[in-house]
Every structure is written in C-alpha cells, then in structure tokens.
Amino acid sequence: MPREPQPFTLAVPDAAIADLRARLALTRLPDQAPGDPWAYGTSVDYLSDLVAYWRDRFDWRRQEAALNAYPQYKVPLHGIDLHFLHVPGKGPNPTPLLLMHGWPGSVFEFLDIIPRLTDPAAFGGDPADAFTVVAPSLPGYGLSFAPGQRRFDINAIADCLADLMTEVLGYRRFAAQGGDWGGFTASRLGAVHPDKLLGIHVNLLAIRRDPTMVADPTEEERRYLGELEHWLKEEMGYTWIQGTRPQTLAAALTDSPSGLAAWIAEKFHRWTDNDGRIESAVDRDRMLGNIALYWFTGCIGASFWPYYARLHGPWPIPEGTTVDVPTGYCEFPREILRPPRSLAARTYTDIRRWTVMQRGGHFAALEQPAALAAEVQAFFRALRQEGARA
C-alpha cells in the first residue's frame, strides 16, 4: 500500500542558480542560416535575447514562490517519489479533477488556471462548479524525477495516476483533463479505468496518425489528412530523435541550458497562437519558469520516454479498444493536429461536448486559462447534473 503523502516545498539551492547563470554566460551560439529566422528551428537572434534575459533579469525565486503558493506533496508510488499539487475546491461539493500536462510542459502550465477551477466564485462563476484539483508532475517529469529511476510510458503513467487518485487520495471516482501527453493519459484512463472516471476532457485527441485511415474522405477529413501529412513530414523531427536516441539528446540538453531553451522555446513558437512572437501568447517568465524546472531537475532525458515507447510499442489506445466514458473536447485553432469529429468518434464513443475555440494553441491552460476553465466547467457541470438526477 502506498504511504501517506508528505508536504513538499520547492527550494532550488542558491548554488544551482549561480551555476545556471555561469553556464548561460558561456553560451556559444551558432550562426543564423539565411532566410526566415525561424525556418530551420529556433531563431538565433531570439535565442540570444532569451539567454541574456534568463541570465540577467529572470527571477526564478518569483516563479518558485508562485508554485509554492499551492499545497504540494510527494508520495512513494510505483517505484518513484511522485510529486503533485492538491488544491481543495471552494464550493458545496467540489469534484476531484486530475489535471495533466504534457511535453515540454510541467505543472507551471496550471498556475493561472487552478484558481479558476478551484474557486469559480472568485471569477464571477458558480461555486457549484468548483473542483478539487490534483495536478501531478507526470512520472519522469520535473519534480517526479530522480536520477536512475524507472522510465514510464503512457500506459504506466495512467496506472500510476489512477492509483494516486483512488488508492492514495481516496477518490472513488474522479474527472480527468489534459493536453498533449496529458490528453493521451486521460484517454488511456478512459479506456482501461472507466469505472474510476466521471468523464474526461481533452484538448488533444489520442487518435491514430495514419494518412491512409480513410478510403473515401469527406472534405473535412481531407483537410485533416492534409494537415497530418504536413505534420508527419515537417514537424515530427523532435519525435524521431526523442523516440530513437533519447540518451544522446539528453546529454546535450542536460549540459547546456541555452540548448535546452532552444529545444523547448521552438515548440512554444510553433505550437502557440502567437503573432510571430512567443510572448504574444505566453508570458516569458512563465515559459522560462517551465524551462528552468527542466534544467534544475535534470529530467529532460526521462521526459522523452513516452516518445521512445510510442515508437517502439503499441498505440496507448489498443487496436479495437474504444474510450467509452463521457468525453469533452476543445479544438484550439493552433493545436498541432485537429482531427474532425467523424474520425474522433471511431475512438471516443460518447462525445458529449465538442467546442471549436476562437483563440489558443497547444499549451491551452497557459495561453487561454479562462476559456479552457469555462469549457471544463461546462462539460462536467452537465455530468454533475446528470448524476444528481440519477
């Protein structure tokens, strides 16, 4: 049986911060290839400015304090010390909500959305919509990583978090929400632990990425298959290297903070709903807080493991298996892939809410916390009302 969770406070040593600044001061940048500065990866000029800001102006202690403002815990579970936030809801009967990030994200994604979910009345909402939020650092990520620990694929992550919610925290049934690998984990939970779930809400669908999946596509399906073909050709480089040679890449990114910043910032540039500047979609300090957490914990290599498992094992939703729990979905316009409902319905058999959002991208909780929180509340509000009538 798992042991009792122990309160946790993040406190990065001053020496580690000094070491980071010293390494940033020694950054050696490449030359910029001709053409569009972002055409071949991270813009060198942007990276130069980001590294200088990180070295001289970024306040890690402020970001650390923002995380420490929420109750945090660690508990020995499935062979690791699992880190999670556990924030009580303020309402008559808060619903437990498992809130899950992905790569290259962390619990820093959730600092602005958590208050909207736990205390909706403070934002002009209904206290009856309150959730008690459990936001773990996914196993192998951030504060759920220690050198030498076992590696987790999505199947193992889902089993670990199911036990966190039921065996450790005592929630018989719970809601789940996620994007990126968090969306895959929510979907996996819906497929293999349906009895534990009230429903799932995702902003990335875990459907197979096969351009030949439809013999006679509709116009909407053709649009998606075109997006998918482009994605597989132009955007999958990070997946192939993280999924085939994770140890080699980890050596570079664990040693070089500017390299780590380039690797992650490029995804914020490509995947957010920005106007050409990352900071038009995401606060620079919050992005650097997320990158710094990867740096201070040294978790980047372990964070690649779901990609390795993805390329060397079965899809997390097994062939012939469906997700039959009530499902809600938000389609953000700058999400990496936006499958049509007709294809999603092959995997998700009980889609109750499908909303096309006006703004936002892959890091929805970070980019559009108010809009995402409202959608999560609306989806689970209907399930709560349904349960009350049953």
Rounded to two decimals, the pTM is: 0.97
Structural domain count of the chain: 1
Q: Encode burial over 344-356: b for 16+ CB neighbours within 10 A, e otherwise.
A: bbebbeebbbebe
**pLDDT value for 3:** 77
Asked if residue 1 belongs to a domain, the reply is no
User: Does residue 104 have a cis bond before it (omega within 30 degrees)?
Assistant: yes
Res. 389 pLDDT band, cuts 50 70 90: low
Is 362 annotated in the active site?
yes
Catalytic choice (83, 101, 201, 362): 362
Is 180 annotated in the active site?
yes
Tens of pLDDT, residues 22-52: 999 999 999 999 999 999 999 999 999 999 9
Whole domain around residue 342: which residue ranges?
A: 6-389
Lowest mean per-residue pLDDT among 153-157, 317-321, 355-359: 317-321
Catalytic choice (171, 294, 307, 329): 307
**pLDDT value for 388:** 56
**pLDDT value for 75:** 98
Asked if residue 48 belongs to a domain, the reply is yes
User: What single DSSP character describes residue 166?
Assistant: I
The three-state (H, E, C) secondary structure of 67-117, written as one string: HHCCCEEEEEECCEEEEEEEECCCCCCCEEEEEECCCCCCHHHHCCCHHHH
Catalytic choice (112, 129, 163, 180): 180
Tens of pLDDT, residues 267-280: 999 999 999 999 99
- What CA–CA distances, in Å, run from 361 to 15, 130, 272? 36, 25, 4
Contact 43, 265 (CB under 8 A): no
Tens of pLDDT, residues 286-343: 999 999 999 999 999 999 999 999 999 999 998 889 999 999 999 999 999 999 999 9
**Percent above pLDDT 70 for the chain:** 98
Contact 122, 373 (CB under 8 A): no
Tens of pLDDT, residues 231-264: 999 999 999 999 999 999 999 999 999 999 999 9
Looking at residue 367, its amino acid is E
Asked if residue 28 belongs to a domain, the reply is yes
Looking at residue 295, its amino acid is W
Is 56 annotated in the active site?
no
- What CA–CA distances, in Å, run from 366 to 120, 137, 245, 276? 17, 16, 29, 17
Res. 124 pLDDT band, cuts 50 70 90: very high
Contact 115, 99 (CB under 8 A): no
**pLDDT value for 215:** 86
Bridge partners, 177 (sequence order): 99, 201
Tell me how far apart the alpha carbons of residues 314 and 56 are, in angstroms, rounded to a whole number: 45
Tell me how far apart the alpha carbons of residues 241 and 356 are, in angstroms, rounded to a whole number: 32
CB atoms within 10 A of CB 88: 13
Asked if residue 230 belongs to a domain, the reply is yes
**pLDDT value for 65:** 98
CATH number at residue 343: 3.40.50.1820
Please state the φ and ψ torsions of residue 110, each to the nearest 5 degrees: -105, 0
Bridge partners, 87 (sequence order): 133
Tell me how far apart the alpha carbons of residues 240 and 223 are, in angstroms, rounded to a whole number: 24
Asked if residue 216 belongs to a domain, the reply is yes
Asked if residue 60 belongs to a domain, the reply is yes
Tens of pLDDT, residues 45-97: 999 999 999 999 999 999 999 999 999 999 999 999 999 999 999 999 999 99
Q: Mean pLDDT in the chain?
A: 96
Structure tokens given for 374: 């409202």
Of 228, 231, 178, residue with least CA distance to 203 = 178
Of 389, 330, 339, 337, residue with least CA distance to 365 = 330
Asked if residue 30 belongs to a domain, the reply is yes
